[in-house]
Amino acid sequence: MFGLLKKSLKDSIKKITRKAEEREKIEERPKEAKEKPKKPEKPKKKEKIERIEKIEKKPEKVEEKPEPEEPEPEKRERRRIFRLRERITTRRLSEKDIDDFFSENERDFLSNNVAVEVLDFFSKNLKERLVDKPIKRVQASKFVSQVFEESLFAIVNQGEVKLEKMIKKKKPLCLVFLGFNGSGKTTSIAKVAKYLLKKGYKPVLAAGDTFRAASIEQLEEHGRKLGVRVIKHQYGSDSAAVVFDAVRFAEANNYDVVLADTAGRAHTDKNLMDELKKVVRVNKPDLKVLVVDSLTGNDAVEQAKQFHEAVGVDAVIMAKTDVNPKGGSILSVCYAIKKPILFMGTGQGYEDIIRFDPKKFVKDILS
Ligand SMILES: Nc1nc2c(ncn2[C@@H]2O[C@H](COP(=O)(O)OP(=O)(O)O)[C@@H](O)[C@H]2O)c(=O)[nH]1
Ligand SMILES: [Mg+2]
Of the candidates 129, 81, 104, 156, the one whose C-alpha atom is nearest the C-alpha of residue 331 is: 156
The residues lining ligand 1, judged by C-beta closer than 6 Å to any ligand atom, are 179, 181-187, 264, 291, 319-320, 322-323, 345-348, 352
pLDDT value at residue 34: 46
> Per-residue b/e over 144-175, b at no fewer than 16 CB within 10 Å?
bbebbbebbeebbebeebebeeebeeeebbbb
Residue 40 has pLDDT above 80, yes or no: no
- The closest-lying atom of ligand 1 relative to the alpha carbon of residue 209 is 21
Ligand number, closest to the Cα atom of 289: 1
Read off φ and ψ for residue 74, nearest 5 degrees: -65, -45
Instruction: Please give the sequence-ordered ranges of beta strands (E in DSSP) within the chain, or none if there are none.
Output: 90-91, 135-136, 173-178, 203-206, 230-231, 257-260, 287-293, 315-319, 341-345, 353-355
Which residues lie closer than 8 Å to 213 by C-beta, 6 or more apart?
235
φ and ψ at residue 345, rounded to 5 degrees:
-80, 130
Cα-to-chain-centroid distance, residue 283: 33
- Atom index in ligand 1 nearest the CA of residue 191 equals 6
pLDDT, tens digit (0-9, with 9 covering 90-100), for 149-161: 999 999 999 999 9
Q: Which ligand has the minimum distance to the alpha carbon of residue 181?
A: 1
Domains parsed from the chain with CATH numbers:
3-156 (1.20.120.140), 163-357 (3.40.50.300)
Q: What is the largest CA-CA distance in the chain?
A: 120
For the CA of 190, the nearest atom of ligand 1: 15
pLDDT grade, residue 139 (50/70/90)? Answer: confident
- Which of 187, 211, 239, 342 has most ligand 1 atoms within 8 Å of its beta carbon, as the pocket-test mutant? 187
Question: What value does the mean pLDDT take over residues 82-108?
Answer: 86
Q: Spell 314-341 as b/e; 16+ CB within 10 A means b.
A: bbbbbbbbeebebbbbbbbbbbbbebbb
Most ligand 1 atoms within 8 A of CB, residue of 289, 348, 353, 354 to mutate: 348
* Beta pairing, strands 173-178 & 90-91: unpaired
Cβ of 24: how many Cβ atoms within 10 Å? 19
The ligand 1 atom at the shortest distance from the C-alpha of residue 291 is 20
**How far does residue 326's CA lie from ligand 2's centre (Å)?**
24
- pLDDT, tens digit, 9 for 90 and up, residues 122-132: 999 999 999 99
Return the pLDDT at 20.
Answer: 78
Q: How many CB atoms lie within 10 A of CB 133?
A: 13
What's the confidence (pLDDT) of residue 54?
53
β-strand pairing of 287-293 with 173-178:
parallel
pLDDT score of 138: 78
**In terms of Cα–Cα distance, which of 126, 118, 132 is closest to 101?**
126
Q: If you average pLDDT over residues 233-251, what whole number do you get?
A: 97
Atom from ligand 1 closest to the CA of residue 346: 27
Mean pLDDT of 198-221: 96
Res. 264 pLDDT band, cuts 50 70 90: very high
- Residue 53 clears pLDDT 80, i.e. is over it: no
Q: Which ligand is nearest to the CA of 188?
A: 1
Between CA 133 and CA 91 the distance in angstroms is 8
Give all strands (DSSP E) within 186-304, no chain letters. Answer: 203-206, 230-231, 257-260, 287-293
- On the question of pLDDT at 35 being above 60, the answer is no
- 183 Cα–ligand 1 center, Å: 6
pLDDT tens digit sequence for 304-342: 999 999 999 999 999 999 998 888 999 999 999 999 999
Mean pLDDT is lowest, of 138-142, 221-225, 245-249, 270-274, for 138-142
Ligand 2: centre distance to CA 186 (Å): 4
Task: Tell the residue nearest (CA) to atom 1 of ligand 1.
Answer: 347
The bound ligand whose nearest atom lies closest to the alpha carbon of 211 is 2
Looking at this protein, which amino acid is placed at residue 132? D
Between CA 237 and CA 252 the distance in angstroms is 23
Q: Tell me the CA–centroid distance for residue 215 and ligand 2, in Å.
A: 6
Who surrounds ion ligand 2 at CB < 5 A? 185-186
Report CA(220)–ligand 2 centroid distance (Å): 11
pLDDT of 204 reads 98
CA of 97 to the centre of ligand 1 (A): 43
Greater confidence, 353 or 55? 353
